[in-house]
Structure 1
Amino acid sequence: MWLKNITLLNFKNYADADVRFSKTVNAFVGLNGGGKTNLLDAIHYLCLCKGYFNPIDSQQIKTGEDIFLIQGDFDRQEKNEKITCGVKRNQKKQFKRNKKEYDKLADHIGLFPVVMISPYDVNIIMDGSEERRRFMDNVISQTDARYLDELMVYNRHLLNRNALLKQIAITRKYDPALLQIFDEQLVASGNRLFEKRQDFMKEFIPLFDQYYSFLTDDNELVSLIYASQLNDQPFDKLLSQSSEKDKALERTTTGIHKDDLIFSIADMPLKKFGSQGQQKSFLIALKLAQYAYLQKYKGFKPLLLLDDIFDKLDDRRMHKLMEMVSHHDFGQIFITDTGRERVLNVFNSIKVPVTLFEVNNGAVNHA
């Protein structure tokens, strides 16, 4: 799969743009603030119906305008696919595939798999468990549409149970039969998600280990562990044991919505003891493992978006990364960087052709 072109209208700092890409490596170079990352975000929109950095669609509209439009032509398994995303202020987002609008956006997820690596990803390490669950859910959802549906079902049951706990606290009336019904719904859905996450992590962790080992020449000992309360006890038993605590706190304190991924280096928390370079290598290995997992289950190569990827990577890791993604099982790649010469030097050194685009104040030109 590859993206042949993209057209932008009033998207972020772009009044209009029309860019045609090569099948292999495409690099956007220019000063910060010119719009390089916005191009990657537009590609992300076409693939996953939303921006990577900001979930609020209306905030992506160019200042002073009322609508943005993104359109792209993909070659997907030798078939042309035209994808269009339009957002008008105070109206529902329109998303079309070959001029036909989707009944629900979830139907698009996974058809055009994409992996983004960005400095923003440090949130996966530094922020709370929600960011790490979001990462895990994003990967699984691109390969299993039923997973996304189940996740929405679980969250709906969770909201219902939490609303009941709040109602109990306000009215002082406790209906054990109703709580039991909500518990059974939550357990049934939660167990299905837990099983899918377990299966995913069994395949994902060896992929991660492989990429981290390659990036660091096997010089650093790291670990990735899937932590879930359901690893220790059945979900129904957990809910039963936490019933009084849940009523006191007016929320559900156990379940797969508390799952986490534990990142360690030399048996110490990566968040506290990993250098910026080690954290960056960890994140890159996570994303490359995501790419490999998606490729295996989709049967074709996703897009790879590398935003400001050379930042905080030493020369050795940077060259190993570029050599890996350019020569191994990777398809179309999009890169942003401030240094034109740095990009050229890196790809010349590994003998890989790169198509350069100069980006300046919302204008894109072949370099």
Structure 2
Amino acid sequence: MILKSLSLINYKNFDSKSFDFNDKINCIVGNNGIGKTNVLDAIYHLSFGKSYFNPVATQNIKHDEEFFVVNGDYIKNDKPEKVVVSLKRGQKKVIKRNGKPYEKFSDHIGFLPLVIISPADRDLIVEGSDIRRKFIDSVISQSDNTYLQNLINYNKVLAQRNALLKYFALNHTFNPDTIAVYNEQLTQYGTSVFEKRRQFLDIFIPIFKARYQAISNGNEQVDLMYNSPLFEGDLKALLEQQINKDKALQYTSVGIHKDDLLFNIEAHPIKKFGSQGQQKSFLIALKLAQFDFIKAQSGVNPILLLDDIFDKLDEHRVSQIIKLVGEDSFGQIFISDTHAERTERTVKQAHQSYEVFKL
């Protein structure tokens, strides 16, 4: 799959900008604050219908403008595909594929597989479990729409159950029959999501470990561990056991929304015991494993975005990564950096065709 061209209107700091891309490596270079990352984010927007960096949709519209449009022309399975994402203030976002709007955005997820590696990924290590759950969900959802629908349904029921718990507390009442209905639905959707996550990680963890070994030259042992309350028992039973606690807290305290991924290096949490370089290598290995998994599931080379790849990595590790992604098993790659000469020198090591865009 190849992104042939990109055009932006009123997107972030761009009023109007167009690009015609190389089929292999594209380097977006320029000073800080000039919009390199925004170009990569626009490409991400076309795949996921949202920004990777700013969840508030209207904040992606250029200041003092009323709308933005991101337009991408692709070749996928030898067929041309046009995807347009647009947003007007006060209206709903629109995603169109070949001129036809999607009724449900979730139907678009996975059509344009993509993996991004960015300094913002450090949140996976330093922030709470919800960030790591979102990572798992984004990987599985790109190749499994049933999983995505079960997850959406679970979160809807969870919000309803939490609202009911608040209502009970406010009105000093309780109805076990109503709670039981929500418990049934949470169990149905939640158990399906848990099983998929477990199966996914059984496949994903060995891929991740192999990628880390390649980046670090096999010098360190790393591990991922899946932590879920559903390993302790059936979700319905867990919900029933925790009902008094839930009534007191006024929210649901057990379920797949409490799942987490534990990141370890040499059997210790990487958050506390990993250097900045080790943490960055860990995150890149995670994302390259994500690439491998999505490619295996979809049969399509995902687009790979490398945002500020040189940040907190020595040149040796960067060279290792560029050599890895320069292999024919990878498809189209986009790299942002502040130093044009450094980028070009490193990219030449991949022995692939490339284009440098100076902003």
TM (norm. structure 2) is 0.98
Is 1:52 aligned to residue 52 of structure 2?
yes
How far residue 350 of structure 1 moved from its aligned partner, in angstroms, is: 4.1
Secondary structure, counterpart of 2:191 in structure 1 = helix
Distance in 1 (CA, whole Å) between partners of 2:88 and 2:178 is 42
User: CA separation in 2, counterparts of 1:15 and 1:168?
Assistant: 51
Distance in 1, matches of 2:50 and 2:142, equals: 14
Aligned to 1:223: 223
The equivalent residue for 2:318 is: 318
Taking the TM superposition and a 5 Å limit, the aligned residue runs for 1:348-367 are 348-359=348-359
C-alpha offsets along residues 8-36 of structure 1, whole Å, 9 cap, x if unaligned? 11111111011100100000111011111
Alignment of 1:126-137 (within 5 A): 126-137=126-137
Q: In the aligned structure 2, how far is the partner of 1:8 from the partner of 1:306?
A: 20
Aligned residue pair count = 359
Q: Secondary structure in 1 aligned to 2:326?
A: helix
Stretch of structure 1 that moved more, 117-126 or 307-316: 307-316
Deviation at 1:328, TM superposition (A): 4.3
Q: Hey, what does 2:161 align to over in structure 1?
A: 161
CA distance in 2, matches of 1:83, 1:4: 12
Name the counterpart of 2:15. Answer: 15
Letter in 1 for 2:136: M
Moved over 2 A (4+): 347-354
For 1:137 and 1:266, locate their aligned partners in 2 and report how far apart those are by CA, in whole Å. 26
Matched residue of 2:334: which SS?
A: strand
Following superposition, the deviation at residue 348 of structure 1 comes to 2.5
Q: Following TM superposition, by how much is the alpha carbon of 1:354 offset from its aligned partner in structure 2, in angstroms? A: 2.2
Amino acid corresponding to residue 100 of structure 2 in structure 1: K
Point out where structure 1 has 5 or more consecutive residues left out of the alignment.
360-367
Instruction: Give the Cα separation in 2 of the matches to 1:164 and 1:274.
Output: 43
Distance 1:161 1:67 in 2: 37
Per-residue CA deviations over 1:59-85 (Å, capped at 9, x if unaligned) read 111111111111110000100001111
CA deviation vs aligned residue, 1:91-149 (integer Å, no higher than 9, x gap): 11111100111111111110000000000000011000000000000011101111111
The whole-number CA distance in structure 1 between the counterparts of 2:60 and 2:178 is 43
Q: Within 5 Å, which residues of 2 pair with 1:192-271?
A: 192-271=192-271
CA positional deviation for 1:351: 3.1
Q: Distance in 1 between matches of 2:349 and 2:49?
A: 36
Cα distance in 1 between the residues matched to 2:336 and 2:95: 26
- The alpha-carbon deviation at position 57 of structure 1 amounts to 1.5
Counterpart residue identity of residue 138, structure 1: S
Deviations 1:279-301, CA, capped at 9 Å, x for gaps: 00000000000000110111110
Q: Does residue 148 of structure 2 align to residue 144 of structure 1? A: no
| Partner SS for 2:291 | helix
The sequence identity of aligned pairs, in percent, is: 47
Distance in 2, matches of 1:22 and 1:63, equals 30
Whether contact under 8 Å (1:235, 1:255) holds in the other structure is: yes
Does structure 2 conserve the Cα–Cα contact (< 8 Å) formed by 1:347 and 1:353?
no
Aligned to 2:25: 25
Query: Would you say the 8 A contact 2:322–2:349 is kept in 1?
Result: no
Counterpart of 1:175 in structure 2 is 175
Structure 2 residues without counterparts, runs of 5 or longer:
none
Other structure's SS at 1:334 match:
strand
CA distance in 2, matches of 1:349, 1:244: 61
DSSP 3-state at the match of 2:164: helix
State the secondary structure of the residue aligned to 2:289: helix
1:283 aligns with 2:283: yes
Secondary structure of 1:124's aligned partner: helix
Contact 2:11 2:70 in 1 (8 A): yes
Are the counterparts in 1 of residues 24 and 352 from structure 2 also a CA contact under 8 Å? no
**Secondary structure, aligned partner of 1:327:** coil
Which piece of structure 1 moves more, 163-172 or 20-29? 163-172
CA drift at 1:347? 2.2
Tell me if the contact between 1:30 and 1:337 (Cα under 8 Å) persists in the aligned partners. Answer: yes
Cα displacement string for residues 288-323 of structure 1 (whole angstroms, at most 9, x for unaligned residues): 000001101111101000000111111221111000
Whole-angstrom distance in 1 between the partners of 2:144 and 2:348? 39
Deviates more, 1:73-82 or 1:48-57: 48-57
Question: Aligned equivalents of 1:141 and 1:300: distance in 2?
Answer: 15
Q: Which residue of 2 aligns with 1:345?
A: 345
What pairs with 1:64-79 in structure 2 (closer than 5 Å)? 64-79=64-79
Name the structure 2 match of 1:115.
115
> How big is the shift at 1:334?
0.1
| Matches of 2:102 and 2:216, distance apart in 1 | 43
Shift of 1:55: 1.4
Q: Displacement, 1:353?
A: 3.4
| Coordinate RMSD, CA, aligned | 1.0
Q: Is the 8 A contact 2:22 2:353 kept in 1?
A: no
